[in-house]
Chains A and B, each alone.
Chain A
């Protein structure tokens, strides 16, 4: 067991023993992750607040089931993901798009110029990319956030979402490609 797992186990044991401040610390350490996952899934701050609360109540209820086989953040992330997923199912919001663009041909030979710093400074281009991220299906938005912002590995994301690592890789690939194409549509491309 590495240091991080030992620290997770100690925090869980303290919370289970009702030691003062232990559960509060557990919530404080993971509330950001919980917010990110749920907000990326449901995109409504009011709902996200409520679902974050439900998540930690559920965590408290099931904490005795944490065996320390995965990092505590992955375990809590999975609870948050499951609660957000149920919310989407209840509202009949699809998690992924019905059509599959697996066979879309790639535009590999890009011969245009792209100035990264100028594009990032251009509010219109940045806004366009932001809109393209928001237009992704809930699962792809969440997978991207976990990979880029939370710096989770693909197996960790697979554990959180309950999907196979290959499926996560495929979602990452397709969503990044889509975002690149959205940028090309805005900044121009000469293939």
Chain B
């Protein structure tokens, strides 16, 4: 059973170990203890007590209840939780967009001239490339959003 384990370096400990193992084997085999010495007898009593079954104080329906619990949980995870999350995210994005639009409508006349000064003059090659870069980034982001919506999150 455990014969490939290295022996104890100390011969006295190894003999004690062998006595412990022999007592367990004898107890498992149900051998008559009459011939045992006191040491073997005590180790057999230890073995007998340790082999006594322990009461398992779980409810009768423990397994059934757990199985029912895990059967409901994945369904809730698949259907309920992500749907709620995506709904909340969509609502939040819509609120932010509306707030941004309202802020732009109310205060845009004050802000825009200041930003216009910072922007390069229209019609230059730099403006064209900047707009193209912005368009690419936007298209890539939208494509990513669509893919995630179509295929679900990566595992």
List residues of chain A with CB under 8 Å of any chain B CB.
18, 21, 23-25, 27-28, 31-32, 35-36, 39-40, 45, 48-49, 52-53, 56-57, 60, 106, 108, 110-117, 119-120, 126, 129-130, 133, 144-145, 147-149, 153-155, 165-166, 169, 172-173, 176-177, 179-180, 183-184, 187, 189
Can you list 29 A-B pairs with a CB-CB distance of less than 8 A? A23-B71, A24-B63, A27-B66, A31-B63, A35-B58, A49-B58, A56-B66, A57-B66, A106-B12, A106-B16, A112-B38, A116-B48, A117-B33, A119-B41, A129-B49, A130-B49, A133-B49, A144-B50, A149-B50, A153-B2, A154-B5, A165-B2, A169-B17, A173-B8, A173-B20, A176-B20, A177-B20, A180-B46, A189-B38
Q: Size range of the interface on B?
A: 35 or more
Q: A129 near B12 (CB under 8 angstroms)?
A: no
- Contact partners of B16 in chain A: CB under 8 A: 106, 108, 173, 177
Main secondary structure of the interface of A (DSSP, over half): helix
Closest to B41 in A: A114
- Contact partners of A60 in chain B: CB under 8 A: 70
Main secondary structure of the interface of B (DSSP, over half): helix
A114 to B45, CA, bound (A): 10
Q: A145 near B50 (CB under 8 angstroms)?
A: yes
Contact of A113 among B2, B13, B15, B38 (CB under 8 A): B38
Q: B2 near A154 (CB under 8 angstroms)?
A: yes
A84 to B18, CA, bound (A): 31
Closest to A183 in B: B42
